[in-house]
Amino acid sequence: SSQLSSLPLQILLYVNGIYYIFYFLATLAMIIYKSQVFSYPDDLLAPDLAVLFLMAILEVPRLYLGFKGNLTEAEAPLGLSLGLTVGSVLLCVYLLLWQTYVLWADVLLNAVLLSAYGLESGLKVTAIAAFVS
Amino acid sequence: PADIRDAAQARVRSAPAPVTDVARLCVCDLLVAQCDISCCCDPDCSAEDFSLFTTCSVPVVTGDSQLCSQKAAVYSLDVEANPPERIFKIIDQVNPSIFCIHATNYKQALYLKSPEIPTPENFDQLLDKFGGATFSTEPDSWNVDTDAQNPPDANETSRYEYGVPVQTEDAFLRLPSPVVSSWCSDANPAGFLVNQATKCIRSVSVEKCDSIQALSMLFYINSSILAVPRSSQMVNITVQSIVVQSLNGMRTLLSSSDVLRLPIVLDELCINAVLGVNYHITHTDTGEIIEAAAAFVLGAISKEKLSIEQSFEISFTQENTQPVPLSGNPGYVVGLPVRAGFQSQGYPFPAAFLSNKHSQLTILHSTSTQDCLAAQGARAPVLFGYNMISGCKLRITAAMKCQPLAQTLLDVLKGQNFPEYVASFGNSQAQDVLDWVPITQLHISEQMLSHTLQSSCQIPVSLGIEVKWTKYGSLVNPQARIVNVTATITTTTLKQLPSGRERIIPITSSVVFTDISSPAEPSYKAWPTIDIKLPFDFFYPFV
């Protein structure tokens, strides 16, 4: 077949988008819960919230570029999306390891997101290789 | 020596680290190097001590239970074994909740904050914060010099409100009062419209009495009061009157009060020392202070005295008003004085009642000497709802004549101005004649039953005032209303004593308040009636 677009990547990007909305709302709610129940000084709350919102801002172009690159079989948007994924991975690792309070639910959500990112990155690399050649 | 001192300072700078290891933490270990009874975690206890325990007072020591997994030290006694022995296990406690804390990157999250250790650098700041009797820094608004803070507040209405401290030139009007202990603290501000009376003890020394600021009149009238907060309009504090109290307690009012009398040392006494200040502040109804006067009581301090008691009072009056203290509105309030008065001499109908401070209903006030003839008119006001009893002892000698004695005792019991009418409500006005209840006076002779000669000498021995009151008004908020006042004088026969002998008779006076309100009957509204009338042409075609 002459179709080079990767179907698993498309499915994964779509599921990632939906999962990310749930992830963002859940993490935000948990940060609010933590700030009420535990002692959460403002100078520690600000970086955690900033990281979460930055990740949300990065996610939108990342997913859009991924969709566009995969569907148009162009490697430039897909490569850009891969670059943004690296940034998202770093922010996700921060929320997993260096947040002020890491709850067990935080660990689960971030682990799932990290594995999705990892799988996506692998699929994007194979798709780029398929488009280039 | 320098490095030893530095090392010591370095050691002191950090407080001992808190014990967080659950295996070593033992809250019941209170005795040092001794075994605490029933304390299974005590390291000073040996196996024989454990065999004598019956229970463990501390069965488990855990860390914060919100952590996902934490260590717990479990102590228990194995009573089956012979001898009983202690079992110590360290187990992992798991919190099954999905919101348990997996890790924290904030070290002080789960621990209490360690207090700051004072060092030469932060000592002043810590002393400011914690050095006083109360833990708060002096509010910056006292400092009138900081103009930077004024612009944001300039839009506020410039007037005093209830409770706002009365400001003066340098800080605020001081009313020294006891804080925590009975010693005077000069940092108590007088609040606007807050009538206060305080008494406190100040330490003095007669040699330095002219240098102690708080003993001189100038300290209390020096700075003028600001008419409105943060304004430049000043009101000087005038000296209203000066009363000089001698060492034996006698007070004389000075005729001229414009001369400032400062404390001086004279003949081992310190005279003109301030023993009491009474401030009277007059204000307008818009919250502006227009007048301030201070009445002083100056006294003498003898050399042996190391402390004196000073009393301070402040009262606020609105301009152009004559405040009459009410005892309730409208019903009497328990604890406020019963208002009484005389009928003015209008003929044929009395126009109004005269009621002032001097015509209050009072009873005899017991003195420490308990001698009736030396009581010298000490009276206590009758407070509504408070049953009171007081008395004194009368020593009768053979030389006393009956009639003057009876008259003196009547004066002692009833006082100089025994009123004729009592106000029915706490706010009865003098013009409302029907709101005043006459005092019924009864005379009872103790020996009426034994038919002794009535012509022998009768002296009053007791005065009983019975005030009958009722509840008036609504069921949910009943008001107290005085309905009847009866003053009963009981007299007894004075038997002539043989000369040289003397007798002591107790004289009593009492006030009793009786509630004669009938049980309340709630009344119900009438059932609404349905009033239907059809228009007269309702059945038009058929009528």
Domain ranges of chain A: 7-132
Mean pLDDT of B313-324: 83
Return the beta strands (E) in chain A as ranges: 101-103
DSSP B471: E
pLDDT tens per residue, range B202-239: 888 888 888 888 888 888 888 888 888 888 888 888 88
Asked if the C-beta of B99 comes within 8 angstroms of chain A's C-beta atoms, the answer is yes
Given a cut of 50, whether residue B147 has pLDDT beyond it is: no
Beta carbons within 10 angstroms of residue B466's beta carbon = 16
Mean pLDDT of B291-304: 88
Interface ipTM = 0.84
User: Using beta carbons and an 8 Å cutoff, which residues of A are at the interface with B?
Assistant: 30, 33, 38-39, 41, 44, 97-108
Q: How close are the terminal C-alpha atoms of chain A, in Å?
A: 15
Q: Note the pLDDT of residue A64.
A: 95
Instruction: Report the residue from A97, A98, A103 with minimal CB separation from B101.
Output: A103
Residues belonging to chain A = 133
Instruction: Report the residue from A33, A41, A100 with minimal CB separation from B105.
Output: A100
What contacts 24+ positions apart, CB below 8 Å, involve B91-95? B93/B62, B93/B65, B93/B69, B94/B68, B94/B69, B95/B65, B95/B66, B95/B67, B95/B68, B95/B69, B95/B70
Instruction: Report the residue from B100, B103, B106 with minimal CB separation from A44.
Output: B106
Task: Decide which of B257 and B47 is more confident.
Answer: B47
Mean pLDDT of B411-415: 86
Name the percent of chain A in helix, strand, coil, to the closest 5. Answer: 85, 0, 10
Q: Note the pLDDT of residue B174.
A: 86
Subunit contact A102:B101, Cβ cutoff 8 A: yes
Mean pLDDT of A65-76: 92
Q: What band does B354 get if pLDDT is binned at 50, 70 and 90?
A: low
Q: Note the pLDDT of residue B154.
A: 47
Subunit contact B99:A33, Cβ cutoff 8 A: yes
Nearest CA in chain A to B94: A104
Q: Where are the alpha helices (DSSP H) in B169-241?
A: 217-221
Six-digit token pair at B405?
A: 């004695």
Nearest CA in chain A to B108: A39
Q: Of the given ranges (A4-13, B152-161, B356-365), which has the lowest mean pLDDT?
A: B152-161
Q: Note the pLDDT of residue A28.
A: 96
Given a cut of 60, whether residue A26 has pLDDT beyond it is: yes
Q: Where are the alpha helices (DSSP H) in B29-174?
A: 47-52, 123-130, 150-153
Q: Note the pLDDT of residue B359.
A: 63
Name the range with the highest mean pLDDT among B132-136, B336-340, B375-379.
B336-340
Task: Decide which of B285 and B469 is more confident.
Answer: B469
Q: What band does B340 get if pLDDT is binned at 50, 70 and 90?
A: confident
Instruction: Report the residue from B99, B100, B106 with minimal CB separation from A100.
Output: B106
Mean pLDDT of A99-105: 92
Q: Note the pLDDT of residue B14.
A: 64
Name the range with the highest mean pLDDT among B29-33, B98-102, B249-253.
B98-102
CA–CA separation, A109 vs B386, rounded Å?
A: 72
